[in-house]
Amino acid sequence: MNYELEIIEDGIIIKNVKDFELTHIFECGQCFRWLPDEKGGYRGIAHGRVLVVSYDKETCNLFLYGADENDFNNIWYDYFDLGTDYGEVKAFLSSKDKYLRASVEFGNGIRLLKQEPFETLISFIISANNNIPRIRKCIENLSKTYGKPIFYNDNIVGYSFPEPEILAKCTEQEISDCCKAGYRCKYIIETSKLYCSAPINVQTLSKEDKNKARKTLAQYMGVGPKVGDCILLFTGARRDVFPVDVWVAKLMNGLYLPDISDRKKIESYASFYFGENAGLAQQYLFYYAREHFDELLNTI
DNA sequence: CCACAGGTGTGTC
DNA sequence: GACACACCTGTG
């Protein structure tokens, strides 16, 4: 897709961006380093940069503060998945059933971010059996201690996510002291070590057999079926996966599979039923369920 | 004090 | 393979 750009003093405007809503994108659970700022936008860190994003619903203008045209072309276009026609995907999913229709309507501005592999890997290892505020804290702590400072006008405005080589050299105690990720600290180090010799190749994961891709990711300590599918989905490697956590299992029980609690069976049913867009279906359903579980179950 | 949070590793059968 | 069971840590 081609977008008209306008360069402004402190950033760039992308014109006519459809199917885009900040809260839907940043609160649907796919990312941990984006927070609302004072002016109604969102501020986040990715690719070693601090970016402030705002969006005008009336004009469909997307504002990226702290980005230039090069960054847009090389980074943010892909990061915000601006090449995908969400109108098309949403029409397909809405036609499936009333639950998807309601969920797509509720989270109509969701976009799947294509996030950096190593950060996504470590972040979702931390997410296991954990709660969101603490996950965010762990990631921030890790970045503050082992990431690089990001400067704006000689002031430090944030810290990049650490490089695998740095984390691989840390002791468990060092990670534990700053990150407070508990027993997951060991996983962080082991996974970082392996990542240095065997990094994630998104291209490869996207092309090979789904189960082979899962097997590759499961080699990293702390990565099981759910975290593995999150990595496939949130790095943009593939969208035909359906990460099943407690919430998704609950909602699938309530809506589609009343008698099945086995997560593997839920996943295989969903990826069959939703096909190549199973991952997006999961996001719409998950977001609706997280915000209004009972309403989703009572959808007429 | 105890349950719980976006599961996973490990040890059994 | 299918199953319990423990597990850091902050919060209610």
Query: What pLDDT is stored for residue A12 in this prediction?
Result: 98
Q: Which nucleotides of C are covered by protein (CB under 7 A)?
A: 2-3, 7-11
Average pLDDT value over all residues in chain A: 97
0.75 exceeded by pTM: yes
Question: By percentage, how much of chain A surpasses pLDDT 90?
Answer: 99
Cβ within 7 A of any strand C atom = A 129-131, 133-134, 176, 180-184, 262, 264
pLDDT at A199 over 80: yes
pLDDT at A86 over 80: yes
pLDDT tens, residue by residue, A134-187: 999 999 999 999 999 999 999 999 999 999 999 999 999 999 999 999 999 999
CA of A17, C1' of B4: distance in angstroms? 40
Of A31, A30, A51, which Cα lies nearest the Cα of A41?
A51
CA of A62, C1' of C9: distance in angstroms? 39
Report the residue count for chain A: 300
Query: What pLDDT is stored for residue A299 in this prediction?
Result: 83
CA of A138, C1' of C6: distance in angstroms? 22
For A247-254, the CB contacts below 8 A with 24+ separation are A247/A286, A247/A289, A247/A290, A247/A293, A248/A282, A248/A285, A248/A286, A248/A289, A250/A289, A250/A293, A251/A285, A251/A286, A251/A289, A251/A293, A251/A296, A251/A297, A254/A296, A254/A297
Q: Which nucleotides of B are covered by protein (CB under 7 A)?
A: 4-9
Mean pLDDT of A33-44: 96
Query: What pLDDT is stored for residue A19 in this prediction?
Result: 98
